[in-house]
Amino acid sequence: DVNRVESEMQLIVDGKRLDGRAFDELRPIKIKVGVLKRADGSCYLEMGRNKVVAAVYGPREVHPRHLQDPVQAVVRYRYNMAPFSVEERKRPGPDRRSVEISKVSREAIEAVVMKELFPRSGIDVFVEVLQADAGSRTACLNAASVALVDAGVPMRGMISSVAVAKVDDVLVLDPMKEEDNYGQADIPFAFFIRNDKIESIALLQMDGRVSTDEFKQALEMAKKGAMEIYKMQKEAIKAKYVVEQEEEVDES
Ligand code: ADP
């Protein structure tokens, strides 16, 4: 969080985080696949108090046509915060922060989408933050990844994303708002996961300061967290698929 303030606020009390979590514990995650009728794929996701929706459209024809790429699909990603998603009303529309988040998130998504299969086409990913509580970009990437699968977009793998923060001189997984605001560093990660294994880092940002050793620990912590998220993403997709199959059986 660029608005971080140095303060005396104690974030670790008796070896526990303010919300009672262990240092390496994720916030509760809820994932629902296929929540929007008009999108080709969609996902509603909660990560702690973050509530986000992702909608995927495409592959479809790109307009205006001069934006088409003759050899591969064009991926667009729009991260947007609802005016009511934060405490003080957020002025609607894009700002520097959301433009930057959209860009780095698109690059992460581009790592997994098989763009080469859809020349001249566009794949649009819209993510809307309904409620923000730190790590909204990671929640959005997790939702976007699931929505892409729901849309049937061919992918090389999944994107699973989580941040690590440094607070009161310790590293904590998946920081919530207070830890992000008053902590010493915030490092959002996104991983490209293929065949149930982390293959590469698709997004990495940081503000604040950590030692190189702490960074290595943060990476390990984030990888474990991302694998947990990945399992939940897969389960959510499977759950929808199973239900749909049962519905089909009922209809026949
Ligand atoms: P992320 O949400 O990905 O962690 P930041 O680190 O930029 O991104 O923001 C941390 C948190 O700060 C957000 O999740 C949100 O709760 C809050 N925040 C961000 N932008 C605003 C804003 N314009 N007004 C109020 N709060 C904001």
- The values of phi and psi at residue 46, to 5°, are -115, 135
Q: Report the separation in Å between the CA atom of 9 and the middle of ligand 1, taken as the mean of its atom positions.
A: 19
Distance 5 CA to ligand 1 centre (A): 13
Name the residue with the closest Cα to ligand 1, atom 22. 90
Tens of pLDDT, residue by residue over 111-157, are: 999 999 999 999 999 999 999 999 999 999 999 999 999 999 999 99
How far is residue 100's CA from residue 61's CA, in Å, rounded to a whole number?
25
Residue 9: pLDDT band with limits 50, 70, 90: confident
Residue 216 burial (10 A CB sphere; 0-12, 13-18, 19+) = exposed
Dihedral pair phi/psi, residue 118, rounded to 5°: -130, 65
Q: Where are the beta strands (DSSP E) in 28-157?
A: 29-33, 41-47, 50-61, 74-81, 121-131
Tell me the average pLDDT of the chain: 95
For residue 7, what pLDDT band results from cuts at 50, 70 and 90? low
**Using CA atoms, how far apart are residues 176 and 172, in angstroms rounded to an integer?**
10
Q: Which range among 6-15, 45-54, 186-195 shows the weakest confidence by mean pLDDT?
A: 6-15
- Tell me the CA–centroid distance for residue 243 and ligand 1, in Å: 35
Of the residues 51, 128, 129, 136, which should be mutated to test ligand 1's pocket, given the most ligand atoms within 8 Å of the CB? 136
Contacts of 2 (CB under 8 A, 6+ apart): 97, 207
Q: What is the pTM of this model?
A: 0.95
Contact criterion met (CB below 8 Å) for 45 and 30: yes
pLDDT tens per residue across span 216-250: 999 999 999 999 999 999 999 999 888 777 777 66
Tell whether the model's pLDDT for residue 251 goes beyond 60.
no
Instruction: Judge contact between 132 and 81, C-beta under 8 A.
Output: yes
pLDDT for position 241 = 82
Output the pLDDT for position 243: 74
Domains assigned to the chain: 23-244 (3.30.230.70)
Whole-angstrom Cα distance, residue 148 to residue 154? 8
CA distance 35 to 33: 6
Q: HSE of 130 in the Cβ direction (CA atoms, 13 Å)?
A: 12
The ipTM of this complex is: 0.98
